[in-house]
Amino acid sequence: MQKTTIRAGSNIAFIKYWGVADAAINLPLSNSISMTLDNAHTTTTVEWVERGLERDEIILDGKRLENAAAARLTDHLDRLRAVAGADYRARVMSVNNFPMASGIASSASGFAALTVAGVRALGLELDATRLSALARRGSGSASRSLFAGFVEWERGADDATSIARQLYPPAHWDLRDVVVVVSSAPKHVSSAGGHTLAATSPLNQGRVTSAEAGLSQVRAAIRTRDIDRLGPVIEQDALAMHSVMMTSTPSLLYWQPGTLEVLQAVRAWREFDRLPAYFTIDAGPNVHLICEADTVTPLLERLSALACVKRTIVSGPGPAPYAVDEHLF
């Protein structure tokens, strides 16, 4: 065993994961497609300790997690222990370079980094497919962050077959995700909690059906590198997902006033300025604007004039999780 530090990128889903067929193993209702991000990431150091620790020690963004706050991460460490057939305790320190729990998929990068760091620190050698299935148990979208570039998570039928795979490497398309942060506050209901509510929405089945149709359109748009083919599909899927959230019981309304301001603005810029940028939104208030690299500068200029914009994060297609030489402790 040795101390291991891994950096994993978050991802932005073009066709979303929302709702579960089996909550125990995070089996989704449909496939999803995403782009792994190069500039929104989590760095995690894991050290397994044979003796001297009564419980796992977990520090996240400078805050020590105890009891219920640590339970989700401890449960995942238990999964790693089970794979290794070991009962070691772990020291874990993790830092994000973006606001967590605010709709930028921090659980995806977090559980991807924790899975790879934990497994390597145990001295195990698992391929990316096996790691993807293991990371999915902690956070469904983490299964996609195990791969670089453009990725599809297969719904599968069980724990072994619900895995992600790479569609295209990062160099395939010089796409950008401009994350528009309108709020850094943690959301009141986590994505994990929201997934279990999806089935209560009368719109849920319609959204799953439309997602199936959108998958083939998104695959084709990525294959041909066609932003104007991709854009309308990802906007429709994001709005459909949030419609399910808003009509669940209890309802979830993640949007803030700034969210709607950005949506209205990007549509106006597209219509009147012919600026080829399209929005998508994960489970939170912050907006992801998808465009090609040469659109970033004029887009940022326009965003700087909006009072609701707290900061922006620009990411291209990113790598698979990788080792970092400098440990966090």
Which pLDDT band, with edges at 50, 70 and 90, does 193 fall under?
confident
pLDDT for res 188: 83
Task: Give residue 65's pLDDT.
Answer: 95
274 burial (CB, 10 Å; 0-12 / 13-18 / 19+) is exposed
Confidence band, pLDDT 50/70/90 cuts, at residue 151: very high
pLDDT at 93: 98
23 confidence band (pLDDT: 50, 70, 90)? very high
The answer to whether 47 and 59 are in contact (CB under 8 A) is no
Name the pTM for this structure: 0.96
CA distance 72 to 233: 33
- pLDDT over 80 at 71, yes or no: yes
Residue 254: strand, helix, or coil: coil
Q: Exposure pattern of 283-322 as b/e (b: 16+ CB <10 Å)?
A: bbbbbbbbbeeebbeebeebbeeeebbeeebbbbbbbbbe
Cβ–Cβ < 8 Å for 184, 310: yes
pLDDT at 192: 85
pLDDT of residue 254: 95
pLDDT reported for residue 58? 98
240-268: b or e for each residue (b if 16 or more CB lie within 10 Å)?
A: bbbebbebbeeebebbbebbebbbebbee
Domains and CATH numbers, the chain: 4-169 (3.30.230.10), 172-315 (3.30.70.890)
Give me the mean pLDDT over the 303-309 stretch.
98
**Residues β-bridged to residue 281:** 287
pLDDT confidence of residue 74: 97
Q: Could you tell me if 123 and 159 are in contact, meaning their C-beta atoms sit under 8 angstroms apart?
A: no
In terms of Cα–Cα distance, which of 311, 300, 253 is closest to 97?
Answer: 311
Strand pairing class (150-153; 164-168):
antiparallel
Average pLDDT of every residue of the chain: 96
Q: Return all residues near 188 (Cβ < 8 A) that are at least 6 apart.
A: none
Q: Give the single-character DSSP code of 317.
A: B
pLDDT band at 174 (very low <50, low <70, confident <90, very high): very high
Q: What percent of the chain has pLDDT over 70?
A: 100
Q: What is d(CA 267, CA 131) in angstroms, rounded to the nearest whole number?
A: 39
112 pLDDT higher than 90 = yes
